[in-house]
Amino acid sequence: MANFPTIRIRTRRKYYRLIFTGLMAMMMSLIISTVLLLIKVGYIDGFTELMHSWGLAFIVAWPSAYFCAYMVQEHILSRIEFY
């Protein structure tokens, strides 16, 4: 099996939540918009409708994921003592 090099990116720790929520919102919005499009319209040949739906979902998903991650980390997980 081929041995591909691992790509590593270095960035500051303060950008962790922004990058994490951005990637989560991107993946979740793709999955949700694809499933909803399949339920609503069925399988279609048009790839552009999926991309349009995904773009709109991502615009809503990233700020909401950032807000929810902040609320959970700061107000819920801070009250739990992990050991």
Mean pLDDT, residues 44-57: 78
Contact residues for 46 (Cβ-Cβ < 8 A; gap 6+): none
Q: SS3 for 16?
A: helix
pLDDT(1) > 70: no
* Prediction pTM value: 0.61
User: For all residues of the chain together, what is the average pLDDT?
Assistant: 80
What confidence category does residue 4 fall into, taking pLDDT thresholds of 50, 70 and 90?
confident
Is residue 73 within 8 A of residue 21, CB to CB? The reply is no
Token pair of 48 as six digits: 């552009």
Place of tokens 């991650």: 69
Lowest mean pLDDT across 1-15, 28-42, 51-65: 1-15
Mean pLDDT, residues 61-67: 85
